[in-house]
Amino acid sequence: MFSRIDHIGVAVAELDQALALYRDTYQLNVAHREIVHEQGVEAVLLDIGEGHVELLAPLGADTPVGKFLAKKGPGLHHVAYQVTDIEGTLATLAATGVELIDTAPRTGIRNSRVAFLHPRSSGGVLTEIVQPAGEAH
């Protein structure tokens, strides 16, 4: 069902401060930076092998990541698995009783299509599935 880990999402209060760690100290390459209004974040993707680290800074306190930061502070936010058929994967997961936050895909970073599964049915881990733009359906 899942082909690989696409990225891990890390909630940060401030992107430039986080980049000092991930880009400058860890020496990861910045692949992309984008404001994703639909998710209320500014996101930076850094390359690590074939996967990525996704830094997420909230656009406001009333966004999901803003609320996460207020409640838990900065840190690991979600894990994202890559899929090739996001609608089919969502249907299969729903049929097996997995609780979906998104019943239909939303637009993610770099025009990917994404959907989140509820941590209640994913072992306490907020889980995202991602179909990158241009992937065969």
Q: State the residues that interact with Co ion by CB under 5 A.
A: 9, 54, 80, 128
Q: What one-character DSSP code corresponds to residue 96?
A: T
Closer CB to Co ion, 19 or 45, in the complex: 45
Phi, psi of 130 (to 5 degrees): -130, 130
Rounded Cα distance, 7 and 4, in Å: 9
Sheet holding 113-117, edge to edge: 30-36, 41-48, 51-58, 4-11, 75-82, 127-131, 113-117, 106-107
What backbone torsions phi and psi does residue 22 show, to the nearest 5 degrees? -75, -40
Residue 121: closest CA among 82, 95, 88: 95
Nearer residue to Co ion within complex by CB, 19 or 80: 80
- Which position's Cβ is nearest Co ion? 9
Instruction: Pick between residue 79 and residue 98 the one whose CB is nearest to Co ion.
Output: 79
| Nearest distance in Å: CB 78, Co ion | 6
Cα(83)–Cα(75) distance, integer angstroms: 25
Give whichever of 42 and 54 is closer to Co ion, judged by the CB atom.
54
CB of 75 to Co ion, least distance (A): 14
